[in-house]
Amino acid sequence: MSTILRTLRNIRKIGIRDYLHQMQYIGDTKAGTLIARDRYGNKYYENIDDELPLRTRWVDYKEKEYSPCQIEPGWHAWMSYLVDKPPTEDAVLKPGQRSWELPVHRPNLTASRAAYKTYSTVKPKTAAWEPVAAPR
C-alpha cells in the first residue's frame, strides 16, 4: 500500500492512464525504468531508489488474465533476486528459443477444468459395501 504523497508522485511520473492500469491490475502505483520485454510481450520494470527493499522489480503482464507461469525462467530468476543482471545482459540467461522449448506459451492448467485427470483401467480390488435391509 502506498502513501498519498508517493501515489501523487507516481501519478506525475507515469500519467493517469498508467496509474489506472496499475491500480486495476496490481493494486498499487509504481514508477520505474523499463528494463525489457520478453517474447510473450510482458514488460519488466525496476526502481531501486523509491521502492522498498525486495519490492524494486515488477512485471506488467501482456494478458489481462495473467498467471506467474507466463514468466520465462531467466526473468523469473531476475524477478526473484537470484541474479543481479537481467537476462538481456547475462550471457547464461540470454533469452532465446532453445531446442526443447515450445514455440508458443502453454499455460499451466493445474486446478482448472482443463487439467489432466488420470483414470484407472484396472478393476478395483475392493468392492463398496451395500447394506441389505432384512424384511420386518
DSSP-assigned letters across all residues of 10-38: HHHHH-HHHHHHHHHHTSS----EEEEE-
**pLDDT at residue 17, rounded to an integer:** 92
Q: Is the pLDDT at 57 greater than 70, yes or no?
A: yes
What Å distances lie between residue 58 and 78, 102, 103, 105, 115, CA to CA?
10, 25, 25, 20, 28
**pLDDT at residue 95, rounded to an integer:** 67
DSSP code of residue 122 = S
Strand order of the sheet with strand 33-37?
33-37, 43-46, 57-60
Using a cut of 0.85, tell me whether the model's pTM lies above it.
Answer: no
Could you give the CA distance from residue 103 to residue 80 in angstroms, rounded to a whole number? 25
Helices (H), 15-134: 16-25, 73-79
pLDDT in tens, 64-107: 878 788 888 888 899 999 999 998 888 777 766 678 777 777 77
